[in-house]
Amino acid sequence: MDHSNYQIETLISAKTIAARVEDLASEISAHFADTDKLIVVGLLRGSFVFIADLVRELDLPVEVDFIEASSYGNSTESSREVRILKDLRGEIEGRDVLVVEDIVDTGFTLSHVLAILKTRNPKRLAVCALLDKPSRREVDVRATWTGFEIPDEFVVGYGIDYAQRNRNLSYIGAVRFTA
């Protein structure tokens, strides 16, 4: 695919994201204040920037792990088939777990990952999603904490890609197709 036929319009600035990450982190720190250790599970790859910023604001003992589920190919169409491409390295039985996701869109990815993690009997299982597109939801699933609700726009930046590009933008932008 040709990548030159779109422009990116700023939707959420780096400053706004940073302020929201601080707020989310203090809510999460308060919620898990009594934990002996919080296992923060990033969903690869889109959450890698968010999780890096979020864990540095958490006032808790944390461990970081990652899981990768397949969702999109190189297109903007959501796939309903969710497969685990890379599993956690550690055990979560009896532990406090926070799943960190970039975007909850149709909800298929998050609900599938949560179903798998629940079978492993964590003590507490919560979710922090940076973005939520409620108008796109097909599966009834909600994050415990959401950074921003956004309209049905295809977004990039702050870890989030379009065909693997634009993850390195410091802000979140909406993709505008020009041709």
Neighbours of 36 (CB within 10 A): 10
Least Cβ distance, residue 47 to ligand IMP (angstroms): 8
- Annotated active-site residue in 96, 105, 132, 161: 105
48 binding partner (options ligand IMP, Mg ion, none; Cβ < 5 to 8 Å by kind) = none
Helices (H), 32-86: 48-57
> Where in 86-145 is the site for ligand IMP (CB under 6 A)?
101-110
Q: How many CB atoms lie within 10 A of CB 41?
A: 26
105 binds, among ligand IMP, Mg ion, none (CB under 5 to 8 A by kind): ligand IMP
**Between 96 and 161, whose beta carbon lies closer to Mg ion?**
161
Q: Which is nearer to ligand IMP, 60 or 131 (CB)?
A: 131
- Where on the phi/psi map is residue 157: left (φ > 0), alpha (ψ -120 to 50), or beta? left
* Cβ-contact 46, 71 below 8 angstroms: no
Q: Is 132 a catalytic residue?
A: no
Contact 82, 108 (CB under 8 A): yes
- Which stretch in 49-57, 58-66, 115-123, 154-162 sits in contact with ligand IMP by CB under 6 A? 154-162
21-60: contacts with ligand IMP (CB under 6 A) = 46
Q: How far is the CB of 35 from ligand IMP (least distance, A)?
A: 25
Q: Tell me how far CA of residue 84 lies from CA of 68, 73, 90, 114, in angstroms.
A: 6, 14, 15, 12
Between 62 and 99, name the residue whose CB sits nearer to Mg ion. Answer: 99
Residue 125 binding result from ligand IMP, Mg ion, none, given CB thresholds of 5 to 8 Å by partner type: none
Which alpha helices (H) appear in 2-47, and where do they start and end? 14-31
Judged by the rule CB under 6 A, the positions of this chain that interact with ligand IMP are: 46, 71-72, 78, 101-110, 154-155, 160
